[in-house]
Amino acid sequence: MTDEIEEIRRQKLEDLRNRKETGQSDESEAQSPSEPIPVNGNAELTETVTGYDIVLADFYADWCGPCQMLEPVVETIAAETDAAVAKIDIDANQKLAAEYSVRGVPTLVLFADGQPAERLVGMQDEAQLRSAIEKHS
């Protein structure tokens, strides 16, 4: 995971240099999508995390009742906040779930500037998620 963090940092630094050279400002940063992004594998998660300033990664399972209850909350967060939301099915991405020490679902990992900044386990309400996002924005 340390190599991945270094790669994310390298990519962010390269993006910043490119923006400086071309005269682009941070406001040209990609707008967060209004729907959750399905993520399959480490490469897609890395691409998502480096593509947006704030990413809420939702590690879930289809069979998980609390995950199903959390889904509309996560969809609202994607639609109404500046955070991108990544959805990661732990059954299809067991290695990725293990990398992020997901022991129970739902587990939400908030990434800020490419780095894991906060971890929330279990059912969360919309206010808790908004507060976490605002704290790291």
Known catalytic residues are 64, 67
* Residue 115 identity: Q
CB count, 10 Å around CB of 8? 17
Beta bridge partners of 86: 37, 57
- The strand pair at 37-38 and 84-89 is best described as parallel
d(CA 74, CA 129): 9
Rounded to 5 degrees, what angle do the CA atoms 39, 3, 17 make? 85
